[in-house]
A and B are shown apart, each in its own frame.
Chain A
Amino acid sequence: MQITSPYFKEKSSEALKDANLQKAMGNVERGFIDKRANAAANLPEFEALRDRAKEIKDHVLDHLDLYLENYEEKVQETGGRVHWAAGAQDARNIILDICKRANAKTVTKGKSMIAEEIAINEHLERNGIEPIETDLGEYIIQLRGEAPSHIIAPAVHVNKEEVEADFRRSHRHLPPGRNLEDPTSLLSEARSVLRDKFLAADVGITGANFLVAETGTSIIVTNEGNGDLTQILPRVHIVLASIEKIVPTLEDVSQILRVLARSATGQDMSVYTTFSTGPRRAEDPDGPEEYHVVLLDNGRSDMLGTEFQDMLRCIRCGACMNHCPVYNAVGGHSYGWVYPGPMGAVLTPTLIGVEKGGHLPNASTFCGRCESVCPMRIPLPKMMRHWREKEFERHLTPDGMRRGLLLWAWMAKHPKLYHAGSRLVINMLGMIGSRKGSFKRLPLAGGWTEHRDLPVPEGQTFQQQWAARRRNSKVGQAA
């Protein structure tokens, strides 16, 4: 996947002018927010569950090596295999290898952000293997040749009229008269196309929402059931997950599941919560013959013990982006890589480097709404600020900005000079603008006045007036 994060500013300005995108974003924003709010309000212990979920993950992260070993042991005991992938390339090679050994021609895929992170589809295609997305949203964007714009609703940027056009373009068998106007008919059309693919696939790749150390189980939550067919029907099942997905016990998982769907879609539980443990056993009616788990690190272990460790608690619910005014304005593609919104603003610089991802942690008003809804209580603004600190230290902050800031800071540290200087400027601005109320344009304030007026200062600073008041006061003495 091509990284466009360095062009965040340009991309977001384009997105703001994209009428289709703005329409699609306008439709979804409310839904997610209201549903989450209701779900949270209807569960008295919701806040306590958030605390518990955070504790569970904090504990795991403090003992990650131990739980990963436990997990691997259990997977092996149940007849599966764990493959360790340090980076994206390693993961791609491992998966391609497994597919080649299985003589795979087609691979069905459940929804997986890690698959996006390692760009597995392109890799398989390059090697003559056809990947087929089975999640409706993923299927749509695969038809469109796009990347997901949201971590749980990958096609959230697409309007249904656009989907209809995509289907008519790619499903050649469709009679022109066939109704595809409502979401249900779109869904059944996708289902009918996908059914054969499920049956024909040699390998199924799914992601994992959780990996359970005590049992070696991988868990996916979906609403369409496509994940189940992806992992049960093909001869080989590959679970592709990152190392921080580990949770100690099934009991722990059930706690976190209670906050996951509520935070994501406002559901009590998603429609399917599917557990898979190892390959098919003799007494099982179905299931894969081979069960592989590809565990991706890709920079995550480097986050342990740093100011970014908290980010590894993320359970990819999407609440932070649903509630983000910036995300809702510019959509996910503006962020320019796999992970958008506040969680992406923290994670992306870690994974692709702050040189490329540096815009993202800056493009936040620090309104804090993300943190207030994050089920895992991840201090997202604080971590974005950590990135800004790193950028400042490494002189990655734009030059003009940096110089202006340093000058201002120097003034702020010299109160007498600051007050004398600011008095001058403010008295002057107050005079120039005295008849206007606000400036439509002002030198050096173009960033502000491009879109809004700048209120004219009242004329004298508070400090100036306060000093005068003290001079006039009987009680006070002049300083």
Chain B
Amino acid sequence: MSVSDTNSSPHTTAIETPKNVALFVTCLVDLFRPSIGFASVKLLEDAGCTISVPPAQTCCGQPAYNSGDKADTRDIAMQVIKSFEAYDAVVAPSGSCAAMIKVHYLELFEEGSDWHQRARKLADKTFELTSFLTDILGRNPVTAHFDGVVTYHDSCSGLRELGVEKQPRRLLEAVDGLTLKEMKDSEVCCGFGGTFCIKYPDISNAIVQKKTKNIEDTAATTLLAGDLGCLMNMAGKLKREGSNVDVRHVAEVLAGMTDVPPIGKTRNDKKG
């Protein structure tokens, strides 16, 4: 396994197949579930990429952005642009953070300005993980095995802002032993919504209840999605409801790294 020095300067010229890839870990993965980050690294390395993790990354700025704090969002965006613009590609195991960089950073800077151009360049080479693997690398590095029936929730930003829908499903098809059972309304929000779930807990709860019902109705034993925020919300609700369904990020299954306990569970918890 090769690990590059994040302080060396990677070449900046765009190449056909991006090799020198920076991982945008995302704040939630960094704090709550590093396993997703390592699963992403494995998938990318198996696909032939060299991975760097710029140490100056914290968060993409979404909490500030969606709370109306544009000044701080802009500062955070500039920090991200500076730390990531030198790589061939930037990949995030989250549709929502990738969309922040790919779609929304542009809205923070005046068109024609230097920062707007830099934001545009970064946007062009930033990708959500499953979309990067399929749409950009065009190959399926998945060699994993997973016994069980899974269902997949489409997280909103990835689906509607980046068009991530078929990509994770195509990758999952390659997982030996796995059966995908679609839930009703897989494209409907899980009620997380970042700070929304804390500002309006009752409404968020009503929405996630519909989601957990649809999950349970599939009789799948594992729930997958591509965004840790949604996953924590659904896992937390399933757990509160006494459900046994396992919850994992799709990257964990694709990378065959399912030896860690599912989200919100311990090794000793009952299997889904």
In this complex, what residue of B is CB-closest to A396?
A: B68
- CA gap between A305 and B167 in the complex, in Å: 40
- CA gap between A391 and B38 in the complex, in Å: 39
Q: Is the CB–CB distance between A366 and B263 below 8 Å?
A: no
Asked if A48 lies at the interface with its beta carbon under 8 angstroms from chain B, I say: no
Beyond A437-B261, A458-B33, A463-B25, whether A388 also contacts B2 by CB under 8 A is no
Contact of B189 among A367, A436, A466 (CB under 8 A): A367
Q: Is the CB–CB distance between A412 and B59 below 8 Å?
A: yes
| Residues 155 to 170 of chain B near chain A (Cβ within 8 Å) | 156-157, 160-161
Contact of A12 among B2, B58, B156, B200 (CB under 8 A): B200
Beyond A437-B266, A454-B232, whether A391 also contacts B188 by CB under 8 A is no
- CA gap between A393 and B237 in the complex, in Å: 35
B192 to chain A, nearest CB (A): 7
Q: Is the CB–CB distance between A452 and B207 below 8 Å?
A: no
Chain B residues with CB under 8 A of A458: 32-35, 260
Q: Is the CB–CB distance between B29 and A462 below 8 Å?
A: yes
Contact of A447 among B35, B59, B197 (CB under 8 A): B197
Q: Is the CB–CB distance between A365 and B189 below 8 Å?
A: yes
Asked if A426 lies at the interface with its beta carbon under 8 angstroms from chain B, I say: yes
| Residues 200 to 251 of chain B near chain A (Cβ within 8 Å) | 200-208, 210, 232-233, 235-237, 239-240
Asked if A197 lies at the interface with its beta carbon under 8 angstroms from chain B, I say: no
Beyond A415-B55, A456-B264, A462-B29, whether A447 also contacts B201 by CB under 8 A is yes
Contact of B69 among A364, A406, A426 (CB under 8 A): A406
Chain A residues with CB under 8 A of B38: 462, 465
Q: Is the CB–CB distance between B4 and A463 below 8 Å?
A: no
Contact of B206 among A329, A392, A435 (CB under 8 A): A329
B162 to chain A, nearest CB (A): 11
- CA gap between A12 and B35 in the complex, in Å: 38
In this complex, what residue of B is CB-closest to A14?
A: B202
- CA gap between A435 and B61 in the complex, in Å: 32
Asked if B66 lies at the interface with its beta carbon under 8 angstroms from chain A, I say: yes
- CA gap between A193 and B24 in the complex, in Å: 66
In this complex, what residue of B is CB-closest to A386?
A: B68
Asked if A16 lies at the interface with its beta carbon under 8 angstroms from chain B, I say: yes
Beyond A329-B206, A362-B199, whether A455 also contacts B161 by CB under 8 A is no
Chain B residues with CB under 8 A of A390: 68
Contact-residue size bin, chain B (C-beta under 8 Å from the other chain): 35 or more
Asked if A325 lies at the interface with its beta carbon under 8 angstroms from chain B, I say: yes
- CA gap between A476 and B3 in the complex, in Å: 6
Chain B residues with CB under 8 A of A418: 58
Contact of B264 among A409, A422, A453 (CB under 8 A): A453
Q: Mark B22-46, 1 if CB is under 8 A from A, else 0.
A: 0001010111111101100000000
In this complex, what residue of A is CB-closest to B209?
A: A451
Q: Is the CB–CB distance between B196 and A365 below 8 Å?
A: yes
Asked if B17 lies at the interface with its beta carbon under 8 angstroms from chain A, I say: no
Could you say which of B71-79, B120-128, B134-142 contacts chain A? B71-79
Contact of B204 among A411, A435, A451, A465 (CB under 8 A): A451
A403 to chain B, nearest CB (A): 12
Q: Is the CB–CB distance between B203 and A448 below 8 Å?
A: no
Asked if B53 lies at the interface with its beta carbon under 8 angstroms from chain A, I say: yes
B61 to chain A, nearest CB (A): 7
| Residues 82 to 96 of chain B near chain A (Cβ within 8 Å) | none
- CA gap between A413 and B4 in the complex, in Å: 25
Q: Is the CB–CB distance between B4 and A365 below 8 Å?
A: no
Q: Which has the most chain A C-beta neighbours within 10 Å: B200, B205, B239, B269? A: B200
Q: Is the CB–CB distance between A409 and B72 below 8 Å?
A: yes
Asked if A273 lies at the interface with its beta carbon under 8 angstroms from chain B, I say: no
Asked if A326 lies at the interface with its beta carbon under 8 angstroms from chain B, I say: yes
Q: Is the CB–CB distance between B25 and A462 below 8 Å?
A: yes
Q: Mark A337-356, 1 if CB is under 8 A from B, else 0.
A: 00000000000000000000
Contact of A412 among B55, B58, B204 (CB under 8 A): B58
Q: Is the CB–CB distance between B266 and A436 below 8 Å?
A: yes
Chain B residues with CB under 8 A of A465: 34, 38
Asked if B64 lies at the interface with its beta carbon under 8 angstroms from chain A, I say: yes
Asked if B57 lies at the interface with its beta carbon under 8 angstroms from chain A, I say: yes
A440 to chain B, nearest CB (A): 8
Chain A residues with CB under 8 A of B199: 362-363, 401, 447
| Residues 254 to 272 of chain B near chain A (Cβ within 8 Å) | 260-261, 263-266, 269
Q: Is the CB–CB distance between A385 and B66 below 8 Å?
A: yes
Asked if B15 lies at the interface with its beta carbon under 8 angstroms from chain A, I say: no
Contact of B68 among A369, A392, A412, A470 (CB under 8 A): A392
Chain B residues with CB under 8 A of A363: 196, 199-200, 203
Chain B residues with CB under 8 A of A466: 37, 53
Q: Which has the most chain B C-beta neighbours within 10 Å: A325, A362, A371, A469? A: A325
Q: Is the CB–CB distance between B4 and A369 below 8 Å?
A: no
Chain A residues with CB under 8 A of B194: 365-366
Chain B residues with CB under 8 A of A408: 63-64
Contact of B34 among A393, A447, A462 (CB under 8 A): A462
In this complex, what residue of A is CB-closest to B198?
A: A447
Q: Is the CB–CB distance between A16 and B67 below 8 Å?
A: no
- CA gap between A476 and B239 in the complex, in Å: 40
- CA gap between A447 and B193 in the complex, in Å: 13
In this complex, what residue of A is CB-closest to B2?
A: A475
| Residues 285 to 340 of chain A near chain B (Cβ within 8 Å) | 325-326, 329-330
Contact of A453 among B70, B157, B203, B240 (CB under 8 A): B240
A364 to chain B, nearest CB (A): 7
- CA gap between A405 and B68 in the complex, in Å: 10
Q: Is the CB–CB distance between A457 and B33 below 8 Å?
A: yes
- CA gap between A190 and B156 in the complex, in Å: 43
- CA gap between A389 and B66 in the complex, in Å: 8
Interface residues of A (CB under 8 A from B): 9, 12-13, 16, 325-326, 329-330, 362-369, 371-372, 382, 385, 387-393, 397, 401, 405-406, 408-413, 415, 418-419, 422, 426, 434-438, 440, 447-448, 450-458, 460-463, 465-467, 469-470, 473, 475-477, 479
Given contacts A366-B193, A454-B232, A461-B34, 16 further A-B contacts (CB under 8 A): A16-B202, A330-B206, A364-B196, A408-B63, A409-B76, A412-B76, A435-B266, A447-B199, A448-B201, A452-B237, A455-B33, A457-B32, A457-B33, A458-B260, A460-B34, A477-B7
A–B pairs, 17, beta carbons within 8 Å: A12-B203, A326-B207, A329-B206, A363-B196, A363-B203, A366-B66, A385-B66, A392-B67, A409-B72, A447-B201, A450-B205, A452-B239, A455-B235, A461-B34, A467-B55, A475-B3, A479-B55
Interface residues of B (CB under 8 A from A): 1-7, 25, 27, 29-35, 37-38, 53, 55-59, 61, 63-70, 72, 75-76, 79, 107, 156-157, 160-161, 187-189, 191-208, 210, 232-233, 235-237, 239-240, 260-261, 263-266, 269
